[in-house]
Amino acid sequence: MNGNVFDLAIIGAGAVGLSTAWKIQRHYPDMRIAVLDKEAEVSAHQTGHNSGVIHSGLYYKPGSLKARLCVQGRDELVAFCREYEVAHDVCGKIVVAATEDELPRLDKIFATGLANGLSAIERIDARQILEHEPYCRGIAGIWVPYTGIVDFPGVCRALAQLIPRVNRHSKVITGAEVVQLYRKGNVSYIETPRGQVQARYVIACAGLESDRIARMDGLRPQVRIVGFRGDYYDLSEQGMHKVRNLIYPVPNPAFPFLGVHFTRMVLGGVECGPNAVFVFKREGYGKTDFDFRDTRDALGYAGTWNLFCKHWRFGLDEYRRAFSKARFLKQLQRLLPGLVMEDLVPGRSGVRAMALAPDGSMVDDFAWETHQNAIHVLNAPSPAATACLAIGDEILAKAQEEFAWN
């Protein structure tokens, strides 16, 4: 691969990176684009380890970039899956209040959904909850018909195949970890184990490594990425019939997590989770995974300790659940009281990139920064996978503005 020269290099072959490449490639079919990823396959990290849900836009602050791009991207994602035969199902979900004190939050979520254009959502009572999910118990809920499930790795594989069909000189290059990034004049030089890539422009969509790639390029981002692992259980064959589609609790607004929920997976099975625990390795999917550099960077950052101080009780509870199946089951039984220990078998896990400010606050919206001939996506939180195609359009518009593309 040594000496490969491209017009644009995109770092990261997850949903955001590949969607951005595809949107730019379609708009500029003569542009030579390289998408670089360090893993052997596309979507190896956040995209391939998320819950596989097509989010509706129910929770996000009206007027925010997340709200707008989620609603726009959701519809476009479904249309993409239909056109390119990617497994998906717009099956709907219910959000369930288990106790009286959750009702004000449920009301607020409902109002937010309406403000975001979800006109078909419905308030439902305890009887209607049972009609949707016969084993679920709650006092009130919201029926959200827009929500679905999808094979996100399948979406990424389709995008990776589409890009070189537009321009045969464009490539998706795996096994190409960025180990050095520097600039000479108007050209960026990207060193990888597979050789050097040269590009006039760079767009970094590096997820869990986004802050490090930005610093490698000379930026000094104010935020730092800290990883949080989410563990899942699967429902066993004997327990799988207890969930039809998707069941969510009323989330705690103090945290950017939706709580442990039940998700029918589009390729089969039902998952329960996730929890949210600090990780000692950014790409550590095992409960005891450890990396010295990742741990040093996270625990040497004031924002991490400020977050811990604010939410220590929440963090402690999450760690207890991570190592206790009984505690995890108890949390799940708030909505499905008929679940028993034998219904749960250990499942997979994922790691979420959390962008933290020095004061410990969590960056709650999409954020990118321009640096000379590069755009760095510093934060792409959920619903980034749902919104990936809309984010691609947004980054295309940003590139046209910043780089004066015609």
What is the model's pLDDT at position 339?
A: 97
User: Does residue 20 sit in the same domain as residue 164?
Assistant: yes
What are the strands, taking DSSP E only, across 154-305? 171-173, 180-184, 187-192, 195-204, 224-235, 246-249, 261-264, 270-273, 277-278
Q: Are 47 and 15 in contact (CB under 8 A)?
A: yes
Q: Which residues lie closer than 8 Å to 354 by C-beta, 6 or more apart?
A: 225, 226, 227, 228, 256, 362, 381
User: Does residue 182 sit in the same domain as residue 275?
Assistant: no
pTM given for the model: 0.95
**DSSP assignments along 348-399, one per residue:** EEEEEEEEE-TTSPBP-S-EEEEETTEEEEEE--TTTTTTHHHHHHHHHHHH
pLDDT, tens only, 8-52: 999 999 999 999 999 999 999 999 999 999 999 999 999 999 999
User: Does residue 238 sit in the same domain as residue 296?
Assistant: yes
What is the model's pLDDT at position 109?
A: 96
- The three-state secondary structure class of 93 is strand
DSSP state of 207: G
Residue 211 dihedral angles phi and psi, to the nearest 5°: -70, -35
What is the model's pLDDT at position 147?
A: 98
User: Does residue 38 sit in the same domain as residue 141?
Assistant: no
What is the model's pLDDT at position 2?
A: 47
User: Does residue 300 sit in the same domain as residue 163?
Assistant: no
Please identify which residue in the block is written with the tokens 């015609």.
406
pLDDT, tens only, 209-218: 999 999 999 9
Indicate whether 22 belongs to any domain. yes
Indicate whether 80 belongs to any domain. no
Q: What CATH number does residue 351 fall under?
A: 3.30.9
Indicate whether 116 belongs to any domain. yes
C-alpha separations of 247 from 88, 91, 125, 256, 337 in Å:
17, 11, 14, 18, 13
Indicate whether 248 belongs to any domain. yes
Indicate whether 101 belongs to any domain. yes
What are the strands, taking DSSP E only, across 56-194? 88-89, 93-97, 122-125, 140-144, 148-150, 171-173, 180-184, 187-192
- Give me the tens of pLDDT residue by residue for the chain, a chain 406 residues long: 445 899 999 999 999 999 999 999 999 999 999 999 999 999 999 999 999 999 999 999 999 999 999 999 999 999 999 999 999 999 999 999 999 999 999 999 999 999 999 999 999 999 999 999 999 999 999 999 999 999 999 999 999 999 999 999 999 999 999 999 999 999 999 999 999 999 999 999 999 999 999 999 999 998 999 999 999 999 999 999 999 999 999 987 766 566 889 999 999 999 998 888 999 999 999 989 999 999 999 999 999 999 999 887 777 777 777 788 998 999 999 999 999 999 999 999 999 999 999 999 988 889 999 989 999 999 999 999 999 999 999 999 999 999 999 8
Indicate whether 109 belongs to any domain. yes
Domain of residue 369 covers 4-47+153-222+364-403
Q: Which of 126, 145, 164 is the last residue of a domain?
A: 145
User: Does residue 305 sit in the same domain as residue 236?
Assistant: yes
Distance of alpha carbon 100 from alpha carbon 200, whole angstroms: 58
User: Does residue 322 sit in the same domain as residue 375?
Assistant: no
Identify the CA nearest to 45 among candidates 148, 156, 149, 204: 156
User: Does residue 254 sit in the same domain as residue 347?
Assistant: yes
Indicate whether 54 belongs to any domain. no
Q: Are 336 and 328 in contact (CB under 8 A)?
A: no
Q: Which amino acid is located at 325 in the chain?
A: K
What is the model's pLDDT at position 256?
A: 58
Distance of alpha carbon 321 from alpha carbon 65, whole angstroms: 33
User: Does residue 309 sit in the same domain as residue 228?
Assistant: yes
Indicate whether 354 belongs to any domain. yes
User: Does residue 210 sit in the same domain as residue 354?
Assistant: no
Q: What CATH number does residue 193 fall under?
A: 3.50.50.60
Beta bridge partners of 398: none
User: Does residue 187 sit in the same domain as residue 334?
Assistant: no
| Residues written for the chain | 406
Q: Cα angle vertex 189, ends 188, 194, to 5°?
A: 140
User: Does residue 239 sit in the same domain as residue 314?
Assistant: yes
Task: Indicate the number of domains in the chain.
Answer: 3
What is the model's pLDDT at position 3?
A: 52
